[in-house]
Structure formats: structure tokens, C-alpha cells
Structure 1
Amino acid sequence: MRPVIGIGLVGYAFMGRAHSQAWRSVDAFFDLPFRPSMVAVAGRSAEATAQAAEKLGWAGAETDWKRLLDRDDVQIVDICTPGDSHAEIAVAALAAGKHVICEKPLANTVAEAEAMAAAAKEAAARGVRSMVGFNYRRVPAVALARRFVEEGMLGEIRHVRAQYLQDWIVDPEFPLVWRLQKDKAGSGALGDIGAHIIDVAEFITGERLTGVAALTETFVKERPLAA
């Protein structure tokens, strides 16, 4: 019988729901060495977190993410919070010996990202794993493109053009959610969406970004407040 590995989720909104669906389904699609157990979800509101736990399939609920680090039945901490809390949670979880999955963008500042990378490197020496949720690497077409490049089928790669087709915040009536607030989202849509574009480009080509030049514009300058 496969050993059980306990999951603790931090955040239950948009990405938390997506990750919950993934944890519920992953064992049916892949031959895993461990059997995932959805132990607990953490959020700030006791009532809302309890409702999310019941709806999304988590066995328990915590109102403080630090409680997940104290639990012996949690081995993986899955971070689905806004970017302004990624560094604190990830560094603490790694120090506590928990494996970490962190949503992108990794952090809101270079200093935070460097601290997280250093914590991950130190934890890796103790056998503790960590990763960022760059899910597009798993798209079959992306994997095939990477193989084409690796096998030299496309010759020398001189130019990459990337476009992210997502328009759910184009609507000017879409409320001012955390993704659109600089103190919570750091670089905003550029980091949120651009992180995927940069990672996929590097993943396919095998090259690393060495410089950046950009022009940006905020098209919707005023939005209604979120309810």
C-alpha cells in the first residue's frame, strides 16, 4: 500500500479552487508513489474557510497558516495566496521541513525572491522539495516544442513572440481585486501573466533572459471596488 502524503492549502479563492480540483483528481490520472490526502485549508475567516473546506473537499480548516506548519499530518504546503504573502509563508514552511508548492509570480520583489530561492536551496540539502506553479510546462504542445528545439529541428532560435490570450480583466466594470493592487500584486498583470510567458520561452528554448526593455500602459485607470 502506498504511503499517504498530507497536503495543506493556504488560500481558497480562484487558484485555491483550481488546486483543490487538482489534488482531488491527480491520483486518478497519474501513478503516484504517494496517496495525496487533503488534510486542511487555511484562510483568515473561520466561517468562510470552513465552508471552503466542505465545498472543496478538505478534511479540516485552519484560520492561521502557521498551524499547518505545526501539524505532523501535513507534509506539503500549497501556497495560493496573493503575492505579498508568498515569501513569508514559503520561507517558514521550508524551514519547518514542509515541501512547498508556490503559485506564480514567485514574489513581489527581487529581495523576496532571492530569500525564497536561498531558503529552497538550503531546504533541498535536507531533502525538502519546492516548486513554482508554472503549469504551462505540462501542456503537450509546449513539451513538443521544447523537444523540437532540443533535437535541432527548428535550427537556431533567434526570435520568440509570445501572446497570452486572457481577457477577463479587460472589462472596465471588473472590480478592483487584489491582482490589480500594487501593494498586493507587485508588478500586477505584467508579473502575473508575464511570468508564464517568460518561463515558457525559457523552458522551450533552453535560454535564459539576460535583459528587459518594455513599454507599459494601464488602460483601465478606475474600477469599482470589490464587494
Structure 2
Amino acid sequence: MGANWYRRMRHFNIWVVAIFGIAAIIGVIAIVATLASGFQQRLGPVEGQRPVDENASIAPRFSGAERIAGRPFLAMTVVAKNAADTGGSGYSSKSAIDNRNMLLLNVVDGSSRYILPDNGRRLVQWHVLSLAAGDEALAYVALVGDDAAASYDVLIGSFATGRQAWVARGVTAMDEPMMVDADTMGLILWDGQRPAYHRYGMADLKETLSRPLPLLGEAAQ
């Protein structure tokens, strides 16, 4: 009787150990699969984003990052692979850096968005604007274009609403972007040799003022 009971208990213990062992193996496999899945999701393409330009001469890479003051965003610069001074006559001839895009990464939830739909043109200027140095960032402005044609477009965006809009096309230069107040952005745009001061409301990203600036000879008349 005692021997039979001992054998039954030994067989029972073997089955218990085997069951727990199998459960542990399954648990480890599930954890590894979950981590691998999350890693792949973080490295996946941005949903709805057009493919990067396949031209090998402007294959993109990241170069530098800037934390946006008072916001959960990191602004990561995308540059062309061959970022080099081409010696042209436009903005890019002043620098060997060939910026193509900007990725805004939310460091809290991991979401991200490129400000431009592709890397086909140069990101000539990028400004993060606040009312004063060190204050919470309110908006951003980008000058994007083609040096060969000396023609650029202006993109503005609001950190508060997450919206952005093209507000000017075919300008030849942009100067002095600023926040006039918490709800208004101001900047100077050039059309050839003609400068004008423009203001935009940040609530709807619409122009609220456009006033030509006289040149010195014109003002003296």
C-alpha cells in the first residue's frame, strides 16, 4: 500500500513539474513576441506618409535634434545623404547642410509627423517661435523651396492645435519671423525686390495683415 502511494505521488509530482515547466516556456515565448511586436511597431513607417524620394543623391538621414520648449516634442532634422555645398546662388549655397525635412516626435506617446510630405525640396529655414527666449514654444515656420529657381514657399504651424498650413507661395526671401502676441505671427516676405510685412492668426492660420514696406528711395520721395 505504501509503495503504491509513493509511486502515485512521484508520478503526480512529475506531472506538476512538467505542467509548470510548459507554462513557463509559453510565458517566455509570449513576452518575447510582445516585445518584438512593439519594437517593430516603433520602427514602422508613419501611417499615411508618402514614400521618401528614391533619388540616391538625396537619400535622407537624421542630423541633430532640438527639444521644443514647454512642449512634449523633439524636432529631428532630416538631411540629404550627400549634404554638401553645391556652390549655388540660393540660400543653400551659404551652408554645407542640405536640410530636407523635419520630424516632430512626441516623446511622451511616441507619435510622430513629418512637416513636409516628401524630401524633394530644401528646408531652407526652420524657426520655432515663442514670445520670449525660454518661454513655451507657440508656433513654427519653415521656408521650403528650390534654389535653382530662387522660389520658396512658406509653411506655418501651431503647437497648440497641431495644425499647419502653407501661407505663401513663390516668395524670394523671408526675414524676421516672430510672435507678435500669443495668437499672432508676423514675418517679412520678399517678392523680388519688394518686401511686405505679413501677420497670421494662429487660431485658423489665416492672413490678417499684408502691408508693403517702402524701400529707402521710395520713402524719401
TM-score by length of 2: 0.26
Q: Which has the larger radius of gyration?
A: 2
Higher relative contact order (CA 8 A, sep 6+): 1
Compare the two structures and name the one with the higher strand fraction: 2
Compare the two structures and name the one with the higher helix fraction: 1
